Structure 1
């Protein structure tokens, strides 16, 4: 019996005469303990990667609009700043229609329309967090308006301009959902949850193709077919079966397929350039960096510092933004997420081709 020379496995010594089984040389304690600590450290890194963006997020810089008379707009801006300083990035608009257009283009996430009948415009398609905030804004404006009306009546009674017992009219702030979610995904949970399976599916496809397919051109063909088949199948489930995605099926399938192709191509390209280490690079950048920063379940402005904007440069952030725009905000400018997905796909293809020619040169030199 031969003795293993791999330090990572237990070594077996040749069988001694008179013995019934070979002696085993166990893994050194130092190595075993180091592996255990390293595995625990990896778990900690993964936990932090997924929890840190959520735990550290705060309500800040939410883009909203205020439409109405300038005096009322200034008063509401002051009121919002006192109630929640830094929570809103406010844009002044001329009227209600301008506010609706801005929401549909997704340049703002909500709006306050002032006048004789104040109204708050929301868009539940932006996510549950935005809907909750806009409902709270409506409640605060209504409370402030009723308090102001009550104070005016009390002043009129005190000055003799109104009889005692006069009651102030009750002011109700109407909340209108300008871009509602589909009834098949009324809470938006499916759209938010679809980001991670797309990334994980793309990564697994890239890993399998890297390990099981030989030949750079064959790998490229396999990744392309994987993107097409995955895009059609996943869109069929998300839109045709569960009704999570809305809008044009073929455009959504193109977006889903491009996202899966981009991740898979990047993993295969990194593997072609750096070997097995490249697979780890692809997994880390897409799953541990890109996915937690995707802002799938909350506005990207809520993430700490510039990380929300940075997350939109990765496949998970770009894909979830693109699918949300295609489903509910067709008037929004979706050029940037399309370009991000195309950019990652191009990097992967270039990596595959560069690895092909590099390996070809090495083989020819060895020959």
Structure 2
């Protein structure tokens, strides 16, 4: 196939062709790593699980569970079943083990299906162990032929189940990506289409408020993925959109169009994969799960889940994280209103440039 030069008779240098191809291959590798690494390396570590019962029984169960799943569970002793339920409902624990005459395992599919499945496996092992102990005790106590003791069932109770409209939690987990993408696209579009830092501030606020109402209406009213109060959900989604969009417009106001990279690089490639939307933050290698909660995608995922299913949980941290990113981004735009250096295009020059562009007939 003939390689035709451009109108000026020039070809792209071979070195540049090779560089572009290799750079694109590296970019694809980074994208694949960013989205596949968290799921490939996900492994439960130090999951907070409440436990209640006699001290000797608690020690025996802790040793057995640690032998079955080394390092997966971090037990927190509570007084009784009521305290265990309260710990789950406030998201201080993902589940609980209640020991006694009628042992029981408490789970919460709304908190995490993966942890709920882990607890179901623990319940099976616990049931096998208590029945083996009961049989041994009966054999030791019997003078003649030992009578088979009654079988002890270990019940598994889902304390905070997922809603019937989203029984697998797929809608709740999938809701995060459109939220991240919406905030990112909104910030980029406003940065490009709106001239003037203060006008961008207004556009971000209006877009976030309207987007929160619309997305909450779709996710809650139509798909049934969200539960709880519609206006609170709309406020959380709107704040999340602002927390993602505002830093983009803020950095654009300070350093010019290069600030657009804040969206795809920081929010999409870095923060989104460690957000904890699909699996708990304890499944990520330390300290990435905790780091993810300091960024808008992670804070939004936690806040939306807790608003839907855990009204007793302390939600001050995710609210504060989202508000800090949103306000910080808006303040950057305000600062950009007064800047004339730093590589950014002044608003007046941008306006004159836009006005000087020829208008198509």
Match of 2:251 among 257, 265, 270: 270
How far the C-alpha of 1:281 sits from its partner, in A, is 2.5
Cα deviations by residue, 1:187-208 (Å, 9 ceiling, x for unpaired)? 1111111111101110001111
Q: Verify: 1:137 aligned to 2:122, yes or no.
A: yes
Bigger mean CA offset, 216-225 vs 274-283: 274-283
Q: Verify: 1:12 aligned to 2:3, yes or no.
A: no
Match of 1:257 among 238, 242, 254: 238
Q: Verify: 1:150 aligned to 2:150, yes or no.
A: no
Cα deviations by residue, 1:319-344 (Å, 9 ceiling, x for unpaired)? 01000110000000000000000010
Q: What secondary structure, in the 3-state scheme, does the structure 2 residue paired with 1:89 have?
A: strand
Q: Verify: 1:67 aligned to 2:52, yes or no.
A: yes
In 1, are the aligned partners of 2:247 and 2:262 still within 8 Å (CA)?
no
Q: Distance in 2 between matches of 1:132 and 1:365?
A: 59
Bigger mean CA offset, 271-280 vs 241-250: 271-280
Q: TM-score, normalised by structure 1?
A: 0.90
How far the C-alpha of 1:167 sits from its partner, in A, is 1.3
Change (3 A) 1:10 1:239: farther
How far the C-alpha of 1:359 sits from its partner, in A, is 3.1
In 2, are the aligned partners of 1:184 and 1:243 still within 8 Å (CA)?
yes
Q: Verify: 1:312 aligned to 2:293, yes or no.
A: yes
Aligned residue for 2:211? Answer: 230
In 2, are the aligned partners of 1:103 and 1:110 still within 8 Å (CA)?
yes
Aligned residue for 1:3? Answer: none
In 2, are the aligned partners of 1:267 and 1:283 still within 8 Å (CA)?
no
Q: What secondary structure, in the 3-state scheme, does the structure 2 residue paired with 1:359 have?
A: coil
Structure 1, unmatched stretches of 5+, are 1-8, 14-23
Aligned residue for 1:44? Answer: 29
Change (3 A) 1:365 1:43: closer
Q: TM-score, normalised by structure 2?
A: 0.92
Q: Verify: 1:33 aligned to 2:18, yes or no.
A: yes
Q: What secondary structure, in the 3-state scheme, does the structure 1 residue paired with 2:44 have?
A: coil
Change (3 A) 1:238 1:363: closer
Q: Distance in 2 between matches of 1:133 and 1:282?
A: 35
The number of equivalent residue pairs is 344
Point out 4+ residue stretches in structure 1 off by more than 6 angstroms: 360-366
Aligned residue for 1:97? Answer: 82
In 1, are the aligned partners of 2:139 and 2:146 still within 8 Å (CA)?
no
Q: Distance in 2 between matches of 1:221 and 1:299?
A: 35
Q: Distance in 2 between matches of 1:364 and 1:87?
A: 54
Q: Distance in 2 between matches of 1:288 and 1:192?
A: 17
5 Å matches for 1:121-270?
121-157=106-142, 160=143, 163-164=144-145, 166-270=147-251
Bigger mean CA offset, 246-255 vs 352-361: 352-361
Change (3 A) 1:286 1:365: closer
In 1, are the aligned partners of 2:190 and 2:203 still within 8 Å (CA)?
yes
Q: Distance in 1 between matches of 2:228 and 2:295?
A: 24
| Greater Cα radius of gyration, structure 1 or 2 | 1
In 1, are the aligned partners of 2:50 and 2:75 still within 8 Å (CA)?
yes
How far the C-alpha of 1:360 sits from its partner, in A, is 9.1
Q: Distance in 1 between matches of 2:316 and 2:237?
A: 15
CA RMSD of aligned residues (A): 1.9
In 1, are the aligned partners of 2:251 and 2:260 still within 8 Å (CA)?
yes
Structure 2, unmatched stretches of 5+, are 350-361
Bigger mean CA offset, 276-285 vs 332-341: 276-285
5 Å matches for 1:79-90?
79-90=64-75
Bigger mean CA offset, 47-56 vs 323-332: 47-56
Change (3 A) 1:272 1:365: closer
Change (3 A) 1:25 1:334: same
How far the C-alpha of 1:131 sits from its partner, in A, is 1.0
